Each structure stands twice: as structure tokens, then as C-alpha cells.
Amino acid sequence: MSYQSIEVRPLTGTMGAEIRGVDLSGDLSNQVKSEIHQAFLDNMMIYFRDQTLTPQRHIEIAQQFGKPAIYPFLKGLDEAPEVNILQKTENDTVNFGGVWHSDTAYKDCPDMGTLLYAHQVPEAGGDTLFANMYLAYETLSDGMKAMLDGLIGVNNSDKSYEGGRAANIKKIDGMKDDLADEVPTLESEHPVVRTHPETGRKGLFVNGAHTLRFKDMTVEESKPLIDYLCAHAVRPEFTCRLRWQPKTLAVWDNRCTQHFAVNDYSGKHRLMHRVTIEGDRPN
């Protein structure tokens, strides 16, 4: 697409782009909004540098992509319940999101997109990796595609959290006070191959954090294929890496990407605000 009102600078040949020439704190024309949305669909992850966003403005920008969601496992800000604090302090050894995943795949209607805004980041480290699930599917053999056709994945919110998700979040000093009231384990069934409702492209919808097994199969029976698909999905040539700076806003499409928060900044502080967007049932 030829963009008239914004500058779109690709991050890699695979996915991701920086959007320039936009001040998100002010009013945006309909054309700018339309071009940002198209860049979001074209690049799967877009980011904006040097943006000054209050929590309320963060929500307003999210509303341009859809309806902001309430994350079930964390309390939002008092003045903006859709905004979650994701924080790792100098004393924490584990981080939030440090495994390849697509946000809330365990919900009946997983969140469509995520907007993450950087308040404080280490001088080096704390990057986020993203992977293109269109390419993950398109590069599979015809035989594998045929086998996956119609296969249903069972996604579970506690899969990567021994003892439960809440208990593990509680181990993160910077987030333990933001836990929501007790939430039961969430589980959902979704196609392993998902068709994007806006682009029509097929993508792999399996991730190591949440996909527990395949429907009508045991965990043990499912594990070899899940492990293969998860390793294949994040091959280096399918990925990009975002280096955060303060006042950076990233927006990504959970319907066709996975992401991984790198935990390589021991003894440093990282503070982010996150808003997710309600999605629909995968098909």
C-alpha cells in the first residue's frame, strides 16, 4: 500500500514496522487512522517512538482498533481499569510474558490485539521478539497442512504456570499487588489453523504457553506435534525484535503473531502499561 499521511519503515523483511509522522497525543484524521490500521494489518506489529500517552489516551488509541478488554488475572489502574501494569523490579528474577505466546489464547474469544507502552526500560535488554504466524503456516509441507486441517487445539491458562497463573504472578515483586480476585483456570478450543477475519490469510494458532493438547487426544499424544509446531513457528527468519525506548508504543495482532518478552536485564527496572483489544472466536 502507498501511504499518504504516515511514514511506514519496515523493521525486517518478515514483519514489523515503525510508524513516523504521527503524534498520538493529539487528534488524528480519518485518513491517518485508516492508514495506521492498514499498516497494522500489513506488518502485524507496528510501533511509534516518542509518544506521550496518559492512561486515558492509551485507551482512546486502543479504541481505534476495537473495544478494550479487561484482563482477568490483573487489576487495572483505578482510573483506567483496561490498563494493566507489567513491571519487573530490580529484585525480580522472573518476568511476565517470558515464553512464546499469543495473548489470552485460552479465552473463548482471544484478545485480537495488544498495545504496550513503555514507561521505564533498561538501557539495554528487555526487548520483545515477535513471530509471523502466516509464514509459520505457509512454509509447512502440504502433507502437514492436510493433517492440521480441522485439528482443534485445547488452550489452558495455567499450562506454563505450575501451581496456577496467579501464584506465579505473585512471585513477581513488581506485580504481586496488582492481582485480581481469584480467577478459575480458563480453557478454550480453537482451530490449529486460523483464518484471519480481515486479511483472509491462514496462520498457525498454536503456542507453547497455552496449547495443552489437541481435542480428543491426550497431552502425551499431542506433545510431539505441539512441540514441533511451536519450534517451527519461531524460526529466526519468521521473527523480528523490538528494542524498547521510553515512550514507545507497540501494537500487535494476536491473530497472526506470537511474542516473547526477553528476560535479560537482571537488577534493572522495566515498567510498561498494556491494553488489549477484545477479539472474536477463531475460525
List the catalytic residues. 101, 103, 259, 274
Distance of CA 133 to the CA centre of its chain: 12
The answer to whether 44 and 199 have CB atoms below 8 angstroms apart is: no
Determine the Cα–Cα distance for residues 245 and 220; give it in Å rounded to an integer. Answer: 42
* Four-CA torsion 69, 8, 236, 241, nearest 10 degrees: -60
Nearest partner of 257 among 200, 207, 189, judged by Cα: 207
Whole-angstrom CA distances from 185 to 112, 142, 156 are 20, 36, 7
* Four-CA torsion 233, 217, 164, 131, nearest 10 degrees: 10
Residues linked to residue 87 through DSSP beta bridges, in sequence order: 271
Instruction: Give the other-Cβ count within 10 Å of 283's Cβ.
Output: 10
Question: What are the cell numbers at 181?
Answer: 480476585
Whole-angstrom CA distances from 84 to 74, 233, 247, 275 are 7, 28, 16, 7
Question: What are the cell numbers at 273?
Answer: 502499561
Longest Cα pair distance anywhere in the chain, in angstroms? 53
Indicate the SS3 state at residue 188.
Answer: strand
Whole-angstrom CA distances from 175 to 63, 111, 169, 210 are 25, 21, 7, 21
